[in-house]
Structure 1
Amino acid sequence: MSRLSPQAMVGVGLRSPHIDQVLAERPDIGWWEIHSENYFNPVSAARQQIREIAEHYPVSCHGIGLSLGSADPLDSAHLCQLKGLIDELAPIAVSDHLSWSSVDGEYFNDLLPLPYTEEALSHFCRKVEQVQDFLGRRLLVENPSSYLQFSHSTIPEWEFLNHVQQRTGCGLLLDLNNIYVSAFNHGFDCQQYLAALEPSAVGEIHLAGFTAKQVDDGEIWIDTHSRPVSDPVWQLYRQWIRQHGPVPTLIEWDLDIPALPVLLGEAAKARDILQQEERHDSPA
């Protein structure tokens, strides 16, 4: 991937208000990421639209429904639908989250945090291995944003992620905004988190915006994906690229979705950083 141009490296999360415009105008962007579950129905209009888009662009499938950390068994119907989508689109990446979202088959509209314990680690790794075996390809696991922690956790999140990657051979989807948000909420150091990760395992980077919310005892940051990428997150991105080289990069925006040119403008900022760091690394 490092031989791709900065233009080809940067993608945008594809959202329904923009699909018709994308099909009509074919904007100059490297790739699109879709939320896999929105396209599971093979005879839906949405599935036909993404087939058409995939004829002209690379596509990445980002899931929110595997519930890898849940005590529930994997949903076989969900896995079959995901595999059907992957087999048809041949995406450049398939990803989901270090989280859980179901109990006894009932799903919640949240990506909930795990207790970082040896038991949870073994359970999560088994789930990742099962998914990878079924799909026949590597999964990228995204670091979460979180707003509470389990008091009985014994493993820092960054070490938990490293263990998952090493035991399963999965890749990492590095969400820099999530690290920045969680670092504020829990009081850890972004630099310590980033320094602990294995750079070669990072297959994709996510960039997004967050919202600061006042609560009774202070302030909490929420990963709303409803704002431009913040300056500190751009700084973390530049740092990572300078230290470790270019990585496929996605701009996410899920709430208060703006006009498509706004998202393309954010993508252009990422592209500029990739180009600047490419020149920075080139011999004089």
Structure 2
Amino acid sequence: MSTTYTMDAGTSRANPTPSPLKRLTVPAIRRQKGATPLVMLTAYTVRTAQLLDPYCDLLLVGDSLGQVIYGLPSTVPVTLEMMAAHGGAVVRGSYHAVVVIDMPFGSYEASPEKAFESAAFLLKQTGAAAVKLEGGAAMAPTVRFLSERGIPVMGHVGLTPQAVNALGGYGARGRTAGEAEKIVADAIALDKAGAFAVVIEGVVEPIAVAITHGVSCPTIGIGASAQCDGQVLVAEDMLGLFERTARFVKRYDDLAGRISAAAESYADEVRSRAFPTADQTYAPKE
């Protein structure tokens, strides 16, 4: 008796079931410059990734998980290990979107070599397609170093949360002519260094427009402008899980209210012994 084995090209050890959607690539994202706007949301868990993936071009495993998931006061305490754990979960939960992982504070600033070590660790541990780092012209040599060694890099200018201590808070950036010029120059430097996309966060709108028109790679706005080549939000903010959010967040749902209502109903039924009913319990076999 002989057995013939055939390989399904749509499966792999990383994805043992056929992928319902073909995953996008970094070059495909870059080609979207000036075309249909790119959709990006944050994701930190398998289930969230599963729910968001069909609608997103990119999923960002943001270091905002420090605040959203762990209740930390800022993104500064986030570690490479935390990013790797959540990054792997998001890759496992997605089939379509390009998964980008934030490089946490302290993991890339010292030198391009240190940045490569950290980025390689994240990509090996997770299977993600790219990393994101904050900073402008000062980080351009690092972006070039990584890009030339096969690691796609997304830049981030304007309001950079990892620099909150230096910036003095989370206010909008670029209100003075000098600061506006620097932010535009920072984005151009990252573009020339090889960044495949640049996030523009928390800037006065003319800056975002100027950057979008002045760089060859796609721009992704958050508190920037609808004229950017794409938009990103923290999914938990967009879904209404937090009472306080930044001005640039639009709430598309009130999950906090709905979860609270569901928990209240559950508590009432438990205390009144209305739950569980026969539908949720097991009867002995006759």
TM band (smaller chain)? 0.3 to 0.5
Which structure shows the higher strand fraction? 1
Which structure shows the higher helix fraction? 1
- Kindly name which structure, 1 or 2, has the bigger radius of gyration based on alpha carbons: 2
TM-score (norm 2): 0.48
TM-score (norm 1): 0.48
